[in-house]
Amino acid sequence: MLLLAQTTSSPGSFAYACLALGVVMLLWDAVEVGRNDAVNLTNAVYGARIMARKYILMITALGVVLGATFASGVMETARKGIFDPNLLKPEQALAIFVSVYVVDTILLYSYSAYGMPVSTTACLVFELLGAAFALEFSDVIHWGNSGKVVSGIVVSIILSGFASFLIHRAIRGAIRDRSTQLATLLLHGGWVGGGMAAALCYFMLLKGMKSIHVVAELKQRIADYQLVVAVLLWGVFAIAIHLLLVFFRKRAARLLFPVLAILGMLALAFAFGQNDLANCASPGLAVVALLVHWDQGIDAITKVAVPAWQLVGCGLLMVVGMLTRNALRITKAQVRAGSQSDHVALWAPRWCIGLAQWFLRWRGSSNSLAPVAAPAQTGKQLHYDALRACTITSVSACVIATASSLKLPVSTTYVTFAAVLATGFADKIFQRGDSALKLGRVIWVISSWFISAAIAMVAAGLVCRVIYHLEIPGMALVIAANFFVRSIVSRRADAQEKEAEEEAYERAHADEFALEDE
C-alpha cells in the first residue's frame, strides 16, 4: 500500500547527505553531459572544417546558455512526468534522484571514453523508471507518460532521418559537388539557402520560443496563416541570398553554406539548451528544492519554480565537459562513422562488421554522390562538405525545437546521429572505402542505445535500493563503485582507441605493410 508523502519536522542527516551528494553529482553530471551529449552539437561543423574547434565551442556555448532560459516546460518530465513523487516519502524521492546521477555519470563517461554517443534523455528516463520501480514497484510510475516520452524519442529519430534523407537528396541532386560555384548557386542557392534559413526562423521562433509573451501573441495572431508566413519567409530569404550572390559574387558563394551551417549549429545549441539541459538539471534541482522548502513536503519538487540562473550554470558546466579529451573522441567517432573519406579510424565488433558486409551486398554499383573528401586548408581531413553540414544542423534543430514546444524531452544525440546517417545514405557514402567498417560502427552505436537503456534501468534500481536502505554508508559504497568502474573503462577505452588508429594507418598504407611482410 502506498504512503502519501509526509515530511518530518526537519530533515535528518540522510536528507542533508542527499542534498550534498545531489548538488555535487548535478555539477558532475552536467560535465558528463557536455562530454557526451552536448558535444554532438558541434559535429557537423567540425566535420566540415568550417572553423576552428575553439570558435565552434564558443558559438555552441552561447546557444546552450540562451536556450537554458526557456527550458522550464521540459523540466516537468523528470520532476513529475515519469513517476508521482507525491506518492513517495521524501527520503524515497531523494534516493531516486541521487541514484539517477550516480548511474548517469558513470554511464555517460563510459560511453564517452569509447567514443560512443548516448542519449542523456533516454538514460535519464530509464534510470528514473528503474529507481522508482525498485522502491515502490509499478504503483508510482506514470506508465502512460513514460510511454509517451519513449515514443517521442523514437518518432524524433525517424522524423530526423527521413527529413534529412529526402531534403539532402533533393539538394544534392541539384547542386552535386558544386556547392561553392557561383553559377550553380545563382540557380539553386536562393531556394536551398532560403529554405534552410526560413525553416530555422520558423521553428526556432514560433515553436521553440513560444513561451515568450511577445512570440506567443504573434503566433496567436497568425495561427490561421502559419503556412503562408513560412512560404513568405522562404521567399524573402531566397531573394536576399540571391542578391548577395549577385553583388558579392564568388565571396558570397564561398561563404553561403558555411554561414548557414554555423547558424544551424547555433539554433541546434539553443534547442539543446531548452531540452536536454533541462533533463540533466532537473533531478538535482528537485533535490535542492525539496530540502530548501522541506516544510512544503513533496510539493516543493513539483511546484517550486526553477531559477534560470541555475540552468545557465549547468549550461556553462556542459561547456567545460565539451573541452575534454573524451568529448573530442565522441566528435571524431561520430564524424568518421558518416565520413565521405575512404579510410577512417574506427572500431566496431566483428559481428557488426559482418552484418554490415551482408547489408552492403545490396548497395548496387552506382557511384557515390558525395564530393571526394580532400584535405581542408588547414591540412586536416575533411569529412563533410558545408552543404551536408547545413542539412544536418538545420533538420536537427527544427526537430528538437518542435519537441520542446510540445514539452516532449527528446535526444539531441539520437536526432543528430540520425541526420548524419541519413545524409550519408543520401550521398551514398557507403559505396567506397571503409564502408563496412563505417556501417558496422553505426550498427554498434544503435545496438548500444538499447543496451544503455537496460543498463540504466537495472543499475539505477540497484543503486537506489542501496542508498535508501544503507543511507550514508550506501552512498559511499556506490560512489566508490562509480570510481572503480571509471578507472577500468578509461584504461580499456584508451587501448581500443590506439588499436583503431593503428589499423586505420595500415589500411591507408597497405602497400607499405605488404612490402614489410614479404
296-321, pLDDT tens digit by residue? Answer: 666 656 665 667 777 788 888 888 88
Which three three-digit cell numbers place residue 48? 566540415
What is the average pLDDT across 164-182?
A: 93
Q: Is 60 left (phi over 0), alpha (psi -120 to 50) or beta?
A: alpha
Q: Which of 272, 263, 267, 262 is nearest to 36 (CA)?
A: 272
Over pLDDT 90: what percentage of the chain? Answer: 38
In terms of average pLDDT, the best of 181-185, 345-349, 412-416 is: 181-185
Q: What is the structure's pLDDT at 299?
A: 62
Which three three-digit cell numbers place residue 66? 540562451
Q: From the CB of residue 112, how many other CB atoms can be counted at a distance below 10 Å? A: 29
Q: What is the structure's pLDDT at 11?
A: 73
Q: What is the structure's pLDDT at 373?
A: 67
Vertex 78 angle, CA 75 and 84, to 5°: 120
Q: What is the structure's pLDDT at 3?
A: 42
Which three three-digit cell numbers place residue 175? 547542386
Of 174-178, 279-283, 425-429, 483-487, give the lowest mean pLDDT range: 279-283
| Identity at 21, one-letter amino acid code | L
Q: Is 341 left (phi over 0), alpha (psi -120 to 50) or beta?
A: beta
**What pTM value is reported for the model?**
0.88
How is the chain split into domains, by residue range?
13-362+378-517
pLDDT at 355 over 90: yes
User: CA 211 to CA 213: how far, in whole Å?
Assistant: 6
User: CA 45 to CA 389: how far, in whole Å?
Assistant: 6
pLDDT at 8 over 60: no
Q: What is the structure's pLDDT at 409?
A: 77
Instruction: State how far Cα 486 lies from the chain centre.
Output: 22
pLDDT tier for residue 80 given thresholds of 50, 70 and 90: low
CB 140 within 8 A of CB 84: yes
Q: What is the structure's pLDDT at 515?
A: 46
Q: What is the structure's pLDDT at 5?
A: 45
Of 208-217, 444-453, 465-474, give the lowest mean pLDDT range: 208-217
User: CA 216 to CA 122: how far, in whole Å?
Assistant: 29
Average pLDDT in the chain:
84
Q: What is the structure's pLDDT at 144?
A: 79
User: CA 83 to CA 126: how far, in whole Å?
Assistant: 11
Q: Which of 434, 449, 375, 418 is nearest to 150 (CA)?
A: 449
pLDDT at 79 over 60: no
User: CA 515 to CA 120: how far, in whole Å?
Assistant: 47
Q: What is the structure's pLDDT at 418?
A: 94
What is the average pLDDT across 89-104?
A: 88
User: CA 490 to CA 518: how far, in whole Å?
Assistant: 37
Of 127-141, 246-260, 339-353, give the lowest mean pLDDT range: 127-141
Q: Which of 83, 178, 65, 160 is nearest to 119 (CA)?
A: 160
